[in-house]
Structure 1
Amino acid sequence: MMIQRLSRKISYAKLLLTGGFILYLLFAIASPIYAQRFEFSGSRKKQSIPFVLVKNLIIVPVYINGKGPYNFLLDTGVAQMIITDTTFLENLDLKKAQTVKVQGYGFGDNIEAVLTRNVTAKIGKATIRNIPTAIFKKDIFDLSNYLGIKIYGILGYYFFNSFSVKINYYTNKLTFYTHDAKIEPKGTSIPIQITGGKPYLSTQIKTDELGDIPVDLLIDNGSSHPLMMESLHDKPFPLPAKTISANLGVGINGIINGSMGRVAEIKLGTYTFKEVLTGFPEYNIGRSTMEGRTRNGSLGSDILRHFVVTFDYTGGSIYLKKNNNEVPKFEHDMSGLEIYVLQGIKDRYYIGRIEIGSPAEEAGLQVNDEITAINFASVIHYKLNDLTEMLKERNGKQLLIEIYRGNDKHVVLLRLKKRI
Structure 2
Amino acid sequence: MKRKILHIILLLFFYANSYAQDKFFILGNDNSYTVSFKLINNLIIIPIEVNDVKLNFLLDTGVDNTLLLNLTLEDSLRLKNIEEIRLRGLGEGEYINAIKSKNNAFKLGKIFNKNHMVYAIHSQDFDLSSRLGIDVNGIIGGDLFKNFIVEINYTTRNIKFNNPSKYTYKNCKRCEDFELHFYQNKPYIYATIDVEKEIPVKLLIDSGGSDALWLFDQSSVDISIPERHFNDYLGRGLSGNVYGKRSKIKKIMLGSYILENANVAYPDFNSIENAYKHEGRNGTIGSEILKRFRIIYDYPNKRLTIKKPSKYFKDPFLYNMSGIEMAHNGNVVVGEREVEMAKVYGNQNEQATVQLVYNYVYALKPSYRIAEIRKNSPAHIAGLKQGDVVLKINGKPAYNYKLQDITYLFSSKNGKKIKLLIERNEIEMLYEFKLKMPL
TM-score by length of 2: 0.82
Q: Which amino acid aligns with 1:156?
A: G
Q: Is the contact made by 2:132 and 2:403 (CA closer than 8 Å) also made in structure 1?
A: yes
Q: Identify the match of residue 204 of structure 2 among 191, 203, 218.
A: 218
CA distance in 2, matches of 1:49, 1:267: 30
Q: Identify the match of residue 259 of structure 1 among 240, 245, 250.
A: 245
CA distance in 2, matches of 1:305, 1:137: 31
Query: What is the match of residue 180 of structure 1?
Result: 165
Cα shift at 1:396? 0.6
CA distance in 2, matches of 1:168, 1:278: 24
Q: Which amino acid aligns with 1:302?
A: E
Query: What is the match of residue 335 of structure 1?
Result: 322
Query: What is the match of residue 147 of structure 1?
Result: 132
Q: Is the contact made by 2:215 and 2:265 (CA closer than 8 Å) also made in structure 1?
A: yes
CA distance in 1, matches of 2:117, 2:312: 41
Identical positions, percent: 31
Q: Identify the match of residue 426 of structure 2 among 386, 404, 407.
A: 407
Matched pairs, number: 383
Q: Identify the match of residue 157 of structure 1 among 108, 125, 142.
A: 142
CA distance in 2, matches of 1:313, 1:224: 22
Cα shift at 1:83? 0.4
Q: Is the contact made by 2:323 and 2:373 (CA closer than 8 Å) also made in structure 1?
A: yes
Deviation digits for residues 9-51 of structure 1, max 9, x if unmatched? xxxxxxxxxxxxxxxxxxxxxxxxx973211122111121111
Query: What is the match of residue 192 of structure 1?
Result: 180
Q: Which amino acid aligns with 2:111?
A: A
Runs of 4+ residues deviating >6 angstroms:
none
Q: Identify the match of residue 84 of structure 2 among 92, 96, 99.
A: 99
Q: Which amino acid aligns with 1:330?
A: F
Cα shift at 1:385? 0.5
Q: How does 1:345-360 map to 2 (within 5 A)?
A: 345-360=364-379
Which stretch shifts more, 353-362 or 240-249? 240-249
Q: Which amino acid aligns with 1:334?
A: M
CA distance in 1, matches of 2:434, 2:276: 44
CA distance in 2, matches of 1:98, 1:184: 42
CA distance in 2, matches of 1:236, 1:130: 46
Report the CA distance shift for 1:198/1:400 in structure 2 as closer, same or farther (over 3 A): same
Query: What is the match of residue 412 of structure 2?
Result: 393
Query: What is the match of residue 385 of structure 2?
Result: 366
The answer to whether the aligner puts 1:379 opposite 2:398 as a matched pair is: yes
Which stretch shifts more, 218-227 or 320-329? 320-329
Name which one, 1 or 2, has greater alpha-carbon Rg: 2
Q: Is the contact made by 1:217 and 1:298 (CA closer than 8 Å) also made in structure 2?
A: yes
Which consecutive unaligned segments of at least 5 residues does structure 2 have?
1-19, 332-363
CA distance in 1, matches of 2:405, 2:276: 39
Query: What is the match of residue 232 of structure 2?
Result: 246
Deviation digits for residues 373-400 of structure 1, max 9, x if unmatched? 2222222221001001110111111122
Q: Is the contact made by 2:293 and 2:313 (CA closer than 8 Å) also made in structure 1?
A: no
Query: What is the match of residue 80 of structure 1?
Result: 65
Which stretch shifts more, 331-340 or 402-411? 402-411
Deviation digits for residues 105-152 of structure 1, max 9, x if unmatched? 443332011112121211120111322211111233111111111111
Report the CA distance shift for 1:141/1:287 in structure 2 as closer, same or farther (over 3 A): same
Q: How does 1:51-70 map to 2 (within 5 A)?
A: 51-65=37-51, 67-70=52-55
Cα shift at 1:325? 8.0
CA distance in 1, matches of 2:325, 2:93: 23
Which stretch shifts more, 266-275 or 292-301? 292-301
The answer to whether the aligner puts 1:307 opposite 2:293 as a matched pair is: yes
Report the CA distance shift for 1:108/1:377 in structure 2 as closer, same or farther (over 3 A): closer
CA distance in 1, matches of 2:414, 2:394: 17
Q: Is the contact made by 1:237 and 1:280 (CA closer than 8 Å) also made in structure 2?
A: no
Which consecutive unaligned segments of at least 5 residues does structure 1 have?
1-33
Cα shift at 1:231? 4.3
Report the CA distance shift for 1:355/1:231 in structure 2 as closer, same or farther (over 3 A): closer
Query: What is the match of residue 350 of structure 2?
Result: none
From the two aligned structures, give the one with the greater strand fraction: 2
Q: Is the contact made by 1:264 and 1:275 (CA closer than 8 Å) also made in structure 2?
A: yes
The answer to whether the aligner puts 1:46 opposite 2:65 as a matched pair is: no
Q: Is the contact made by 2:48 and 2:57 (CA closer than 8 Å) also made in structure 1?
A: yes
Deviation digits for residues 226-273 of structure 1, max 9, x if unmatched? 000014456794111201012334443233332111121110111011
Cα shift at 1:368? 2.3
CA distance in 2, matches of 1:37, 1:259: 40
Report the CA distance shift for 1:286/1:401 in structure 2 as closer, same or farther (over 3 A): closer
Report the CA distance shift for 1:286/1:352 in structure 2 as closer, same or farther (over 3 A): closer
Deviation digits for residues 312-349 of structure 1, max 9, x if unmatched? 11122212121248534212110011111123322111
Q: Is the contact made by 2:80 and 2:102 (CA closer than 8 Å) also made in structure 1?
A: no
CA distance in 2, matches of 1:332, 1:35: 45
The answer to whether the aligner puts 1:207 opposite 2:190 as a matched pair is: no
Question: Matched residue of 1:362: which SS?
Answer: helix
Report the CA distance shift for 1:104/1:158 in structure 2 as closer, same or farther (over 3 A): closer
Deviation digits for residues 62-115 of structure 1, max 9, x if unmatched? 0112x1321100110101100001124333455632211223344333201111
CA distance in 1, matches of 2:85, 2:39: 33
